[in-house]
Amino acid sequence: MIEAKGTENPEDIKNDDVAPQDGDPEGGAGQDVDDNQEEGADAPEWHAQELPEDFMGGKYKNMGEVEKALKHSSKMAREKGLDRDAPEEYAFDFSGVEGFEDIEVDMEDPTLQAMLPAFKEVSLPQAEADRLVQAFLKHQLESDAANIEAQRKELGDEGKEMLDRITGFVDKHFTPEEAAAVNLIGKTAAGIRVLDKFIQMQGMKNVPIGDSGSPGLSHDEIIDKIDKLRKDPDLNFNKAKQDQYEKLLAEDVKLKSKR
């Protein structure tokens, strides 16, 4: 799906913002299309991609129907002598569009890359391409928000703590490319639990503590570890490090009591 970043309020984007412009097909998927339109097994895989019920007023069920309508619209425009020249290269900048100000479009997204040749084929103007891409972004944001809410409910009371811990760790240690891979894993509650467990295990490696609770360190070494953990910015959201910190403090008290 086309990558959208930077907004958590998809409901702020109104359907009117992505409604068809004048000259768009009114009959939607019901219009006659070119006999050369690919169907069935010969159709591109992205044709089968389903659309939300409110996409373009509910006219289209999938991307295949959108392409049919675009081809019909292009044909009608040519017959009427209307100017429908496509740009040499499509570019999408929605920084001035209400509700889309902080959204970035990933031009390398596979779905968008599959759609661009179809836009060219039907001589789709930039403005109409903008509206289609905005509609996809709106749908993606709504789907992502619904998925996050569903995962939080499944994770229960600890869900927010887990997500905050994962986000903090990823932001600090991972590149954008690595973070994208982590996001794929974290789309399910099970994936979030695995990531959270991995992060806490990473924290546990810093101070090896045996079953007895004693780290087997000298008092000076324990004090040094305590000082480093106290200054560690991860301490506030990393439960494993918090446990280490508490055990080291307990060990410090124990050693002091023996003096």
Place of tokens 């509609």: 135
First vs last C-alpha separation in the chain? 65
- In which region does residue 15 sit, left (phi positive, over 0), alpha (psi from -120 to 50) or beta (all else)? alpha
Q: Are 96 and 175 in contact (CB under 8 A)?
A: no
Tokens coding 120: 């060219």
Of 111, 126, 148, the domain-final residue: 148
Q: Are 133 and 221 members of one domain?
A: no
Task: Decide if pLDDT at 161 tops 70.
Answer: yes
Range of the domain at 216: 206-257
Q: At what angle do helices 239-257 and 189-204 cross, to 10 degrees?
A: 30
Tokens coding 52: 């939300």
Most confident of 18-22, 81-85, 115-119: 115-119
Residue 181 domain-assigned? no
Of 127, 148, 169, the domain-final residue: 148
Least confident of 3-7, 39-43, 186-190, 244-248: 3-7
The pLDDT value recorded for residue 46 is 60
Q: Are 132 and 218 members of one domain?
A: no
Q: Are 241 and 143 members of one domain?
A: no
Tally of domains within the chain: 2
Mean pLDDT of the residues in the chain = 71
Tokens coding 244: 């280490």
Residue 197 to residue 10: CA distance in whole angstroms: 31
Residue 64 domain-assigned? yes
Tell me the pTM. 0.42
Tokens coding 76: 């009608």
Q: Are 238 and 114 members of one domain?
A: no
Of 103, 120, 148, the domain-final residue: 148
